[in-house]
Chain A
Amino acid sequence: MSAVSIRDLKFRYHDDGPLILDISSFDVQTGEKVFLLGPSGSGKSTFLEVVSGVLPAKAGKLEVCGHDLTKKSAHERDVLRGSHIGYIFQSFNLVPYLSVQENIELPLLLNQERARRLKKDRVTEMKRLADHLEIGPYLTRPVSQLSVGQQQRVAACRALLGSPELILADEPTSALDQEVREKFIRLLFECCDETKAAVLFVSHDRTLIPLFDREFALPKRGGEGW
């Protein structure tokens, strides 16, 4: 089973708005790591949001982890995302008043299916992953007291815990310098290899391409962008 399977997907924000996405065929296999690139405004973020079900796909076929998203309600997509997808946002989207640990555990607490996939108990798994991502010492701190790089690893840890089949990452490294960036991606991949998670990674930084199995470019749409 492939992690993502797309045929003739079209997306517009409004019915009479411009066509943002028009993808005839795109597949991501289990465990495959794909680098998504394209000029600014080409729809990379929109693409991830459609794949994750944040935005509704109305036309074409979009299958994620064996579920056809075009036929699901907003709530069903929320549940599907919670249990099968780890999403690392460009702005991390951590809950500011929760501690590091509480943020990381949030998807597990909200999705029973994801919690069931844990091999050991929640806290042990969480600690192991946090140590691996080198945020073990900060678990009880409020996230607002962390550096950007640390926050980003918290976001990654949250996305990875509970072994989702698909990891989506939207420019999570833009705030980091080159060296830390590569280290982060290697760490991320190590974790994904353990659970055979597929990765769909958006970045402007072409120097990262060699780290991935494959790249996929979104065409710049006429007149759009900047």
Chain B
Amino acid sequence: MVILRLAWASLRNRRLTTGLTILSIALSVMLLLSVERLRRGAEDGFTQAISQTDLIVGARSGPLNLLLYTVFNMGSATANVSWQSYEHWKNQPQVEWTIPYSLGDGHGGFRTVGTDANFYEHYRYRGDRKVEMSEGVPAVGLWDVVLGAEVARSLNYKLGQKVVIAHGVTSGRGIQMHDDKPFTVVGIMKPTGTALDQSLYITLEGMEAIHMDWKDGAAPTRETAIGPDQIQKEAIKVDQITSFFLRTKSRIETLRLQRSINTYESEAMMAIIPGVALAELWHMMGYVEKSLKAISWMVLAVGMTAMLIALLSLLEQRRREMAILRAMGAGPGHVLSLLVLEAFLISILGATLGTLVQLAGFLILEKWLAQSFGVYLAGAAITGPEFLFLLGAVFIGTLVGLIPALRAFALTLKDGLSPKS
């Protein structure tokens, strides 16, 4: 009790140094927690880029490749899936829904996806979030296009705008443009913080229509070209797609269905389980995570060093004080617990302050982070490991207090008591 009173009084007496030390610990704790929370946000954004889809199916290639070009707009498919095969799997009794995806074209550096109404109805990311429109409606008409939030923002497109699709490219300006068949923006999606924001969405028929007069990968000549008003959506027969997402009626069907797709005789196809593939991919990028963690720990080490320096320099000023306490009969236990208690109070105040600032900061910045960087702070504000880390920081801080305490005993009582000071 007396030690607590003494510790409190002496900390209060040296408000400035105490305050600065608390601040430096608070800063490092805050930084570490922030890095950790951003890392979790990034991981969630990554591994939760697609959810509720049980299988992603495409032509046989590498599983990573399939995942990358369907979910992350990276790379491209080597082959397509025929419409018959798609229909075959779509109509299996254990299948609840499918979302077809047709890729290959782009606009202004963004990718164009041909899909159907199922996309707007069934696609889910980050748990149970679905695709929503901030303006307009989903693309259902032949020449309708819906813009991902990032596409609309960076190209500054509005509803009603005409959009020309570039052939065969997803980035940069295409050499061949489907400029004979422009699309009209009918909807703009809300930001999702996933690669969805970076695409334009048209119908499968629209995708087919801009290519229907093409022959063997060559643009139509003036004679063979078919004008947009001559084409009816109903008349178009889609004969291939790039890939599709699939949801089974019951999760236990997934593995069996995956196996039968992978061994499908009529066409070389491949099905992957997105959750597993995403986790593997994130694991491969583990060095990002590790370097973020290393930075956090270095930051904390600097904070602790600052505290040690502050405590040691305080001790120099406090030799006389320690000597007085010993002259009054304070034993080593008293002096030790006094200094350690002070270090403990400083670290716990610092850790608490840092945590509060971090929580408040993210509360304020949450929207901005989501909108500007697509980092969503889903999940708990503080997780178990982070709590353990906080305890660890307080523990280490308290141990640091032992160093000046042991030094205090190396100094002789007589030196401290001399009235020279």
Tell me which residues from 72 to 126 in chain A have a Cβ below 8 Å from any Cβ of chain B.
Answer: 74-75, 78-79, 81-83, 87, 89-91, 93-98, 102, 106-107, 109-111, 114
Contact (A89, B419) CB under 8 Å given A75-B331, A102-B5, A110-B329:
yes
Chain B facing A: main interface SS:
helix
| B329/A81 in contact, CB under 8 A | yes
B420 → chain A, closest Cβ, in Å?
9
Q: How far is the CA of A106 from the CA of B320 in the complex (A)?
A: 15
Q: From A54, A93, A97, give the contact of B414 (CB < 8 A).
A: A54
Closest Cβ–Cβ distance, residue A151 to chain B (whole Å): 13
Interface pair B331/A79, CB less than 8 Å apart: yes
Q: Which residue of B lies closest to A74 (CB)?
A: B413
Once A95-B321, A97-B12, A110-B334 are accepted as A-B contacts, the answer to whether A90 and B329 lie under 8 Å apart by CB is no
- Which range contains the number of B residues in contact with the other chain? 20 to 34
* A55 interface hit (Cβ, 8 Å): yes
* B330 and A78 contact, CB distance less than 8 A: yes
Name the B residues within 8 Å of A158 (CB-CB): 328
Produce 1/0 per residue, B1-20, CB < 8 A to A. Answer: 11001100110110000000
Contact B329 A82 (CB under 8 A): yes
Given the contacts A89-B419, A91-B419, A102 and B326 also touching, CB distance less than 8 Å: no
- B219: Cβ under 8 A from any A Cβ: no
Cβ-defined contact, B2 with A54, below 8 A = no
Indicate whether B236 reaches chain A with its CB closer than 8 angstroms.
no
A81 to B328, CA, bound (A): 7
**Which residues of B sit under 8 angstroms from A63, Cβ to Cβ?**
none
Residue A49, interface by CB 8 Å: yes
Say if the beta carbon of B399 comes within 8 Å of chain A: no
Residue B403 interfacial (CB < 8 Å): no
**Residues of A contacting B332 with CB < 8 Å?**
75
B413 touches A54 (CB 8 A): yes
Given A75-B332, A110-B330, 9 more pairs with CB closer than 8 A: A74-B413, A89-B327, A95-B324, A97-B9, A106-B2, A106-B325, A107-B329, A109-B1, A110-B329
Contact B327 A54 (CB under 8 A): yes
Note all chain B residues with C-beta closer than 8 A to A110.
2, 325, 328-330, 334
The reply to whether the CB of B315 lies closer than 8 angstroms to some CB of chain A is: no
State whether B326 touches A78 (Cβ < 8 A). Answer: yes
Contact between B2 and A109, CB atoms less than 8 A apart: yes
Chain B residues contacting A74 (CB-CB under 8 Å) are 413
B349 at the interface (CB under 8 A from A): no
Pick the most buried of B9, B320, B334, B413: most chain A CB atoms within 10 A of its CB. B413
B residues near A90, Cβ cutoff 8 Å:
419
Q: Is B417 positioned at the interface, with any CB of A under 8 Å from its CB?
A: yes
Write 10 A-B pairs (CB below 8 A) sorted by A numbering. A49-B417, A54-B327, A54-B413, A78-B329, A82-B328, A89-B419, A96-B13, A102-B5, A106-B2, A106-B325
Contacts of B329 in A (CB 8 A): 78-79, 81-83, 107, 110-111, 114
CB distance from A76 to the nearest CB of B (A): 9
Kindly provide the distance from the CB of A58 to the nearest chain B CB, expressed in whole angstroms: 15
- B11's nearest neighbour on chain A, judged by CB, is A97
Is the beta-carbon distance between B331 and A93 smaller than 8 angstroms?
no
A contact residues vs B (CB 8 Å cutoff): 49, 52, 54-55, 74-75, 78-79, 81-83, 87, 89-91, 93-98, 102, 106-107, 109-111, 114, 158
CB distance from A26 to the nearest CB of B (A): 21
Is the CB–CB distance between B13 and A87 below 8 Å? no
Minimum distance in angstroms from A56 CB to a CB of chain B: 10
Q: Which residues from chain B contact A54 at a C-beta distance below 8 Å?
A: 327, 413-414, 417
| B5 cross-chain contacts in A, Cβ below 8 A | 102
With A54-B327, A78-B329, A82-B328: A93-B417 Cβ-Cβ less than 8 Å: yes
A19 to B156, CA, bound (A): 93
Give the residues in chain B near A111, CB-CB below 8 Å: 328-329
Interface positions, chain B 168-203, Cβ under 8 Å from A, are none
By a CB distance below 8 angstroms, the chain A residues around B6 are 98
A contact residues around B326 at 8 Å (CB): 78
State which of A75, A93, A109 has its C-beta within 8 Å of the C-beta of B324: A93
What's the least CB distance linking A158 to chain B, in Å? 8
A55 nearest CB neighbor, chain B only = B414
For the complex, what is the distance from the CA of A109 to the CA of B3, rounded to whole Å?
9
**A94: which B residues are within 8 A, CB to CB?**
324
Select one of B10, B320, B330 contacting A97, CB under 8 A: B10
B1 shortest CB reach to chain A, Å:
8
Question: What's the least CB distance linking B405 to chain A, in Å?
Answer: 14
State the CA gap A85–B67 with chains docked (Å): 82
**Complex partner residue of A106 from B10, B323, B328, B413, CB under 8 angstroms:** B328
User: Nearest chain B CB to A149's CB is how many angstroms away?
Assistant: 17
- State the Cβ distance, B6 to closest chain A Cβ, in Å: 8
A82 to B327, CA, bound (A): 7
Flag if A82 contacts B419 (CB, 8 Å). Answer: no
